Amino acid sequence: MTMPVIFERSVPGRIASAPPAPDVPEAPMETIVGEEHLRETPPALPEVSELDLVRHYTRLSHRNYSVDAGFYPLGSCTMKYNPKVNEDAAGLAGFARLHPNTPAPLAQGALELLWRLEQMLCEISGMDRVTFQPAAGAHGEMTALMMIRAYLEDRGERRTRVIVPDSAHGTNPASAAMCGFEVTTVRSDARGNIDHAALRRAADGSVAALMLTNPNTLGLFEEGVCEVAEIVHNCGALMYLDGANFNAMLGITRPGDQGFDAMHINVHKTFGTPHGGGGPGAGPVAVKRLLEPYMPAPTVEREGDRFLLDGDRPKSIGRVRAFNGNFGIFVRAYAYLLAYGPLLRQVSEAAVLNANYLLALLRPHFDLPYDRRCMHEFVLSGRRQKEQYGIRTLEMAKRLLDYGFHAPTVYFPLSVSEAIMIEPTETESRQTLDEFADAMIRVAGECATDPETVRNAPHSTVVTRLDEVAASRKLNLRWAAGGRRGS
Amino acid sequence: MKPASGWHPHRYLPHTGAEIEKMLRVAGVASLEDLFAEIPADIRMKRPLELSPALPEGELLAHLQRLADKNAHADRMISFLGAGAYDHEIPSVVWRLAGRAEFVTAYTPYQAEVMQGELQAAYEYQTMLCELTGMEVANASMYDGASALGEAAVMARDLTGRNRVLTSSAVHPHYREVLRTYTRHQGIEVVEVPHRDGVTPVGEIRAAAGPETAAVIVQSPNVFGCIEQSSALAQAAHEAGALLIAAVAEPISMGLLRPPGDYGADIVAGEGQPLGNHLNYGGPYLGMFAARREFVRRMPGRLVGMTTDRDGRRGFVLTIQTREQHIRREKATSNICTNEALNALAAAVYMAALGPTGIRRVAEVNARRAHYAMERLTALPGISRAFAAPVFNEFVVRTPLPPEQLNARLGERGFLGGLALGAWYPELPDGWLVCVTEARTRGQIDAFVEAVKETIAR
């Protein structure tokens, strides 16, 4: 059944809110703001009652896959359980209703929270300082590269290149480009590590930084990370960690001890803050002392028993966002860390255990491009199914939806053909992993026995396979007033 | 050593010691420690993390409540603070719906067939934002208003092939700072045109705009709350072949005032927090981004489009993703990956709750109460309006006491006073930016005016 858009529910004259009466003298609007500034036609927003509104969005929510409803094996996206108490914490009036321009003496609790969180993040990452401004991981990448660039320029060096491994997230090269760097891609070796010989050839005085993901996007730990850091530092460049996979090493090993100078932390991936259908997130950047002067202003500082925002930072790269970062997300992250304390190490132990367990169940049924012990995620290849039965990985992914599972990440990393990237996370139980493995194995079997069913999947969802080509050729990005299909 | 020795059951982790042993066996690993054997020994932690011991839920919440109680939030203080973040009433229905776990705990809708709720909600949000701004296309959200403005400047450069943007100094200072950060390494020069009497001087914009100018950036109502001569500024930009970027910090204003699409804006970059989102001490907020139709393939951020499934049923998908970083990598329109989908959803529910008449009414109440407060304050001895231009729900007055001192004294009486402008505009050391929304009653305004009166008389 087609679900109406809210504009089709609209009946002129209905309203779902009761704005207050002005209760002050009612001069004509023309005299208050000036006739020439008044809006001529009202926006064609929906006109619905409160119950219409509640039913509409409740029904939409039923058409959504979420962590609370099921397993999300979405590799590299790290979709773990989002603890409920964190929502209560972030909803406290003292946080949710706090204005960002509140003078520091009246916002001591919020500043103390950020200060304490910074101490915790430094301990976990092995870094010295943290900026809370970046609103997302990719925003953090950009911020960190700007700090690195400012640091180098302060030393009189104008370096133009950033090295990015071929398996890196697409945000890495895009962020480098936004900071005015050329991107040099370096390939992986046969074990899935960055190729040291290729890195040595690429690393010269024009390189500003290496952006490395560790564990990398194949789910493998960079075995030679210390040598990589040495090569990079020897040419005068800095080491940047894409913290997307930080969930694998909490309390096990610290990026600061591996030779990294800066990293971003994807708060939703690492500390289980909810991701709201694609955001909000937060991308705090942790740095070694040498980058501290360049942090976005303001920073959170402690003086005795008072906390303050320090905006007097002459070497700062400037703001990357208005106000104090996605504070509400940091309340959740702080609550998450308080719930674990030193037991945080178990998060990574369980995440890596779950991935290795699931890999053991699946390895007889799929190709495994790099046969090593995986960290918190692993990459399979659907090459066998494609070659033998002509079934593409995307089709298998869609078939999994029929079994009630979200699909894994597919076609990433780009360096693996027909890639299937699976990340169970630590909060999934053995039973869930067994059920998911069963579904994967059944789909692999169906490629031989019932390929048409796989090819035309999904069958049980509220819509069948959607025409993405038509969507991009004949763009329809908005509903037009009057009920016509718009453009 | 038993593999699961030292394992502590935890409420967020399902594993038992016995299960861990079984799973290790299946994985062919001897112990939890051995799972990490590929990490070189010299970079393995040899001590536990120095974090305070794990807290049970009750103690955790009590600790956070104690921190929250140290803050002068808008339920404890009567707030007249705005300047880029606004204390509006949020109908209960907004977060009862946007806060549903099916929305809150979902990820980016990469598997469209099981994410139709998210996708349809985003499509509807895009539509509502177009309606509110008077623009033709809108994306599914960005980080916040300031960073959206940075992206807009880069987009304008790409569209025009020109390398200079002009911005009024009456654009929110944070927005201008972020603009400079975003453009610094992209070969874009930012030129500021000083405001005159709280508004952007059209003649000086016309004089400054030239063949190098990619865009003119104007915010209306601007950081002083003043309504700009936006049409004339758009015309000045267009005469030079430049685009007009409209920055919006208070979207409620568009319920009453001419929206950017009506005065000739080419790109709108704004802050959507006032549309049903909490103050949150600055975030998460909602970057709004809208533009003219022909610019759509140059737009940053995620777009949701309508299409059909194999059975001809209507459905929604992420579309023209070829602009994005996961396909175009360093040639993408921006590095944006995460957006603020949940905040956009809340904004959509809010806009749908108000409808066209509701948003007009809310905007009118903002304007009326702000004007009432302005008249009463400026009737006090020593307080006068700083600027003559018309205002919406914020205004600047000059105070006989330094505004910081005034605020401190008002704070003792339970009021969160206006913003002391001197830190942002040294030429306005006595400038006090006061904000009045529909959430302030006449009684509160009267009490505030009384408190100001007694404070300055002291």
**pLDDT tens track for A165-190:** 988 898 999 999 999 999 999 999 99
Q: Report chain A residues whose CB lies below 8 A from the CB of B302.
A: 278
Which one of B20, B57, B280 would you mutate to disrupt binding with A, by most A Cβ within 10 Å of its Cβ?
B280
Q: What is the pLDDT of residue A409?
A: 96
High-pLDDT (> 70) share of chain A, %: 99
Closest CB from A22, A102, A278 relative to B81: A102
Scanning B102-161 for CB atoms below 8 A from A yields: 102-118, 120-124, 126-128, 130-132, 134, 136-138, 140-141, 143-147, 154
| pLDDT 10s digits, A82-121 | 999 999 999 999 999 999 999 999 999 999 999 999 999 9
Tell me which residue has tokens 């049903």.
B276
Rounded mean pLDDT of B48-60? 98
Q: Report the distance separating Cα A226 and Cα B48, nearest Å.
A: 22
CB pair distance less than 8 Å for B308 and A373: no
Q: Which amino acid is at B222?
A: N
Determine contact: B389 vs chain A, CB below 8 A: no
What is the tally of helices (H) and strands (E) in chain A?
A: 18, 12
Residue A487 scores a pLDDT above 70: no
C-alpha A468, offset from chain centre: 24
Closest CB from A59, A345, A430 relative to B49: A345
Q: Report the distance separating Cα A246 and Cα A227, nearest Å.
A: 20
| pLDDT 10s digits, A187-211 | 999 999 999 999 999 999 999 999 9
- Tell me which DSSP letter residue B30 carries: S
CB pair distance less than 8 Å for A462 and B116: yes
| pLDDT 10s digits, B349-389 | 999 999 999 999 999 999 999 999 999 999 999 999 999 99
Residue A485 scores a pLDDT above 60: no
Q: Which chain B residue has the Cα nearest residue A11?
A: B355
Q: Which of A277, A139, A328 is nearest to B278 (CA)?
A: A328
Of the listed ranges A160-174, B81-95, B149-163, the one predicted with least confidence? A160-174
Determine contact: B447 vs chain A, CB below 8 A: no
- Looking at every residue in chain A, the average pLDDT score rounds to 96
Q: Which chain A residue has the Cα nearest residue B388?
A: A33
Which one of A2, A5, A65 would you mutate to disrupt binding with B, by most B Cβ within 10 Å of its Cβ?
A65
Q: Report chain B residues whose CB lies below 8 A from the CB of A463.
A: 112-113, 116, 309, 311, 313-315
Residue A484 scores a pLDDT above 70: no
Q: Report chain B residues whose CB lies below 8 A from the CB of A470.
A: 307-308
A221 CA to chain B: closest CA distance, Å?
7
Task: Using DSSP, state whether A21 is helix, strand or coil.
Answer: coil
Q: Report chain A residues whose CB lies below 8 A from the CB of B435.
A: none
Q: Which chain B residue has the Cα nearest residue A276?
A: B104
Determine contact: B412 vs chain A, CB below 8 A: no
Determine contact: B41 vs chain A, CB below 8 A: no
Closest CB from A2, A345, A478 relative to B130: A478
In chain B, the N- to C-terminal Cα span, in Å, equals 75
In chain A, the N- to C-terminal Cα span, in Å, equals 23
Which one of A125, A143, A317, A321 would you mutate to disrupt binding with B, by most B Cβ within 10 Å of its Cβ?
A321
Q: What is the pLDDT of residue A486?
A: 42
CB pair distance less than 8 Å for A39 and B259: yes
CB pair distance less than 8 Å for A97 and B338: no
CB pair distance less than 8 Å for B106 and A276: yes
CB pair distance less than 8 Å for B337 and A171: yes
Scanning B254-313 for CB atoms below 8 A from A yields: 254-259, 262, 271, 278-285, 293, 296, 302-311, 313
Q: Report chain A residues whose CB lies below 8 A from the CB of B99.
A: 87
Closest CB from A65, A276, A283 relative to B104: A276
Q: What is the pLDDT of residue A22?
A: 84
Rounded mean pLDDT of B258-280? 98
CB atoms within 10 A of CB A470: 16
Which one of B132, B338, B342, B375 would you mutate to disrupt binding with A, by most A Cβ within 10 Å of its Cβ?
B338
CB pair distance less than 8 Å for B93 and A427: no
Query: CA B177 → CA A175, B55, B181, B250, distances in Å?
Result: 19, 40, 6, 18
Rounded mean pLDDT of B95-107? 98
Q: Report chain B residues whose CB lies below 8 A from the CB of A39.
A: 254-259, 262, 360
B214 CA to chain A: closest CA distance, Å?
18
Which one of A35, A45, A181 would you mutate to disrupt binding with B, by most B Cβ within 10 Å of its Cβ?
A45
CB pair distance less than 8 Å for B186 and A180: yes
Residue B2 scores a pLDDT above 70: no
A448 CA to chain B: closest CA distance, Å?
24
Q: Which of A288, A249, A285 is nearest to A270 (CA)?
A: A249
Q: What is the pLDDT of residue B57?
A: 98
CB pair distance less than 8 Å for B390 and A34: yes
Q: Report the distance separating Cα B128 and Cα B126, nearest Å.
A: 6
Task: Using DSSP, state whether B25 is helix, strand or coil.
Answer: helix
A262 CA to chain B: closest CA distance, Å?
17
- B266 CB-near residues (< 8 Å, 6+ apart): B156, B215, B243, B244, B245, B291, B292, B295
Residue B334 scores a pLDDT above 90: no
Q: What is the pLDDT of residue B74?
A: 87
Determine contact: B422 vs chain A, CB below 8 A: no
Element housing A349 (H / E): helix A344-362
Q: Report chain B residues whose CB lies below 8 A from the CB of A280.
A: 283-284, 338, 340-343
CB atoms within 10 A of CB A450: 12
| pLDDT 10s digits, A450-475 | 999 999 999 999 999 999 999 999 99
Closest CB from A68, A174, A461 relative to B114: A461
Rounded mean pLDDT of A232-248? 97
| Residue B92 in tokens | 């209960």
SS3 content of chain B, % helix, strand, coil (to 5): 45, 15, 40
Q: What is the pLDDT of residue B1?
A: 42
Rounded mean pLDDT of B27-48? 96
Q: Report chain B residues whose CB lies below 8 A from the CB of A109.
A: 66-71
Cβ proximity of A409 and A219 under 8 Å? no
Determine contact: B407 vs chain A, CB below 8 A: yes
Which one of B35, B52, B252, B295 would you mutate to disrupt binding with A, by most A Cβ within 10 Å of its Cβ?
B35
What is the pairing mode between strands A285-287 and A262-264? antiparallel
pLDDT band at B31 (very low <50, low <70, confident <90, very high): very high
Q: Report chain B residues whose CB lies below 8 A from the CB of A217.
A: none
B224 CA to chain A: closest CA distance, Å?
14
Task: Using DSSP, state whether B442 is helix, strand or coil.
Answer: helix
| Residue B279 in tokens | 């103050």
Which one of A59, A466, A479, A487 would you mutate to disrupt binding with B, by most B Cβ within 10 Å of its Cβ?
A466
Please return the burial class of B446, using the count of CB atoms within 10 Å of its CB with bins 0-12, 13-18 and 19+. middle
CB pair distance less than 8 Å for B364 and A81: no
Of the listed ranges A117-126, A205-214, A411-420, the one predicted with least confidence? A411-420
| Residue B274 in tokens | 């006032």
Of the listed ranges A400-414, B102-116, B125-139, B327-341, the one predicted with least confidence? B327-341
A322 CA to chain B: closest CA distance, Å?
5
Q: What is the pLDDT of residue B293?
A: 96
High-pLDDT (> 70) share of chain B, %: 99
Q: Which of A365, A428, A441 is nearest to A400 (CA)?
A: A441
Q: What is the pLDDT of residue B326?
A: 82
Q: What is the pLDDT of residue B332?
A: 84
